[in-house]
Amino acid sequence: MKQKLSVVLFALLFMSGILHSQTLSPTVVSSSGGYFTSGSSSLSFTVAEMTMVQTFTTAGNILTQGFQQPEVLTVSIPETPSVSGDVSIYPNPTSGNFTLSYVCNESNATTISLYNLVGQVVLTKTVSQVAGLNTVNFDISDFSQGIYMLELTLKNVKGEKKATYQKINLVY
């Protein structure tokens, strides 16, 4: 019992030493800006690329004014617009033979790719489409059972691509 009490007491003393030893000191890294002091207060400000930070300090208080960004900066991946019109796969789930049916506005070549869940292309077909209803028959009965993603990519006369993705469940 005394050993447990002494271990707990030692742990508390150790933790209080760690908590007391931490200090926070304001650090300014800047490409330009300045630092001014007068009497009991100081002013530190930085101007970097598209940001501005101001820090006001008095005897025991520090006030930092946040970042001011003049424009929103984002990183994004442009998405291919989706295919307009109805796209359907039937029967789904399938035992291997299924039909893809879709409507398009103009005649052109269409690329259809089938991916496994690892993202590998397991089948690619290029078909000629007509304006209106199009149907394409598939036989994937030699493939292993699982879920596949079908990508239908339509390209118009201007070269703009539109794509849609459909899940296919292959069961035996």
SS3 166: strand
Least confident range of 46-50, 90-94, 107-111: 46-50
Predicted confidence at residue 136, as pLDDT, reads 93
Mean pLDDT of the 17-46 span: 60
Q: Where are the beta strands (DSSP E) in 12-96?
A: 33-38, 41-48, 51-57, 62-65, 87-90
Least confident range of 11-15, 79-83, 113-117: 79-83
| Strand pairing class (108-115; 121-129) | antiparallel
Query: DSSP string covering 89-145, please?
Result: EESSSBSSEEEEEEEESS-EEEEEEEE-TTS-EEEEEEEEE-SEEEEEEEE-TTSPS
| Strand pairing class (41-48; 51-57) | antiparallel
Return the residue matching tokens 């596949």.
148
Predicted confidence at residue 65, as pLDDT, reads 65
Predicted confidence at residue 132, as pLDDT, reads 86
One CATH from 2.60.40.2550, 3.40.50.620, 2.40.100.10, 3.30.460.10 for 87-170: 2.60.40.2550
120-162 pLDDT, tens digit per residue, is 999 999 998 888 889 999 999 999 999 999 999 887 777 778 8
71-102 pLDDT, tens digit per residue, is 555 666 666 555 555 788 899 889 999 999 98
Instruction: Residue 146: name the closest of 121, 167, 122, 171 by CA.
Output: 171
Q: Provide CATH 2.60.40.2550 ranges for the chain.
A: 87-170
**Residue % of the chain over a pLDDT of 90:** 22
